[in-house]
């Protein structure tokens, strides 16, 4: 059976509409999901976003004698040769936190009381910032910022064993580190803003596609109804 000419024309028309870029999408919206960041994206891209998970669990003994509340927060980023993990665990009101920074010759593990540092991680090609307290932009070197002071730790690995030496930076050197952190935060904000725009554009395209399918279903229903 040959399809009516009107149906063929309708299908061709709807296919063209479906393949077209949405008329109400932003002018700079990509025609398809970008395989890599386009030219207007920030140059210093975080290879993988920070993954933050949380869990809260209540346990009660079989006899019902006590209850235990366990909550956990995990923040992790693996990019640019560095693996950064921050975790908090709270049990019956007692909370402990752990931070691990590994890669590029750095091997640092720190235990904290909860709330002492932020789990925020900025992991860009130009440098790493963890909670405004830890910074690195070079191999084998990690800077710890506390108050108005900065302490540089240089790591050395020999025969499979890692050791480190500590050096207190001058006020000028410490200021330069803080200035670098400010710039990294600005770059991270640009990247977040760009991602939000791309997500909005793709959402607009998806909504337009849904409208096209609804239009097609309505017309097909009219032809065969």
User: Dihedral sign, CA of 180, 181, 184, 189?
Assistant: negative
Measured between alpha carbons, how far is residue 195 from residues 42, 145, 174, 189, 222 in Å?
A: 10, 30, 32, 10, 41
- Segments making up each domain of the chain, as ranges: 48-60+67-207
Mean pLDDT of 171-183: 95
pLDDT for residue 191 is more than 90 = no
Residue 75 class from Cβ within 10 Å (0-12 exposed, 13-18 middle, 19+ buried)?
Answer: buried
pLDDT the model gives residue 150: 96
DSSP-assigned states of every residue in 102-124: EETTEEEEEEEETTSS---EEEE
Higher pLDDT pick, 185 / 8: 185
- 84 close to 123: Cβ distance less than 8 angstroms: yes
User: Chain-wide mean pLDDT for the chain?
Assistant: 75
Which residues partner with 152 through β-bridges? 143, 167
Contact 89, 71 (CB under 8 A): yes
pLDDT value of residue 124: 87
Task: Render pLDDT for 123-173 as a digit per residue (tens, 0 to 9).
Answer: 888 899 998 899 999 999 999 999 889 999 999 999 889 999 999 999 999
Rounded CA-CA distance 109/133 in Å is 14
Residue 195 pLDDT greater than 80, yes or no: no
| Of residues 147 and 19, more confidently modeled | 147
């Amino acid at each position: 059976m040959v399809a009516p000419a009107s149906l063929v024309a309708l299908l061709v028309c709807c296919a063209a509409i479906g393949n077209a870029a949405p008329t109400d999408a932003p002018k700079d919206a990509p025609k398809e999901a970008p395989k890599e960041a386009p030219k207007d994206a920030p140059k210093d891209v975080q290879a993988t976003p920070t993954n933050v998970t949380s869990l809260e669990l209540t346990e009660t003994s079989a006899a019902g004698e006590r209850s235990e509340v366990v909550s956990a927060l995990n923040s992790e980023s693996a990019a640019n040769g560095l693996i950064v993990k921050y975790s908090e665990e709270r049990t019956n009101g007692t909370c402990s936190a752990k931070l691990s920074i590994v890669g590029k010759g750095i091997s640092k593990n720190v235990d904290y009381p909860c709330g002492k540092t932020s789990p925020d991680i900025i992991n860009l090609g130009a440098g790493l910032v963890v909670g405004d307290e830890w910074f690195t932009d070079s191999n084998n070197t990690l800077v710890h910022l506390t108050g108005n002071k900065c302490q540089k730790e240089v790591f050395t690995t020999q025969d499979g064993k890692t050791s480190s030496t500590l050096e207190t930076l001058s006020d000028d050197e410490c200021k330069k580190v803080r200035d670098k952190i400010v710039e990294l935060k600005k770059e991270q904000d640009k990247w977040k803003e760009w991602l939000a725009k791309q997500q909005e554009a793709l959402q607009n395209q998806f909504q337009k596609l849904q409208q096209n399918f609804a239009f097609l279903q309505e017309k097909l229903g009219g032809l065969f109804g």
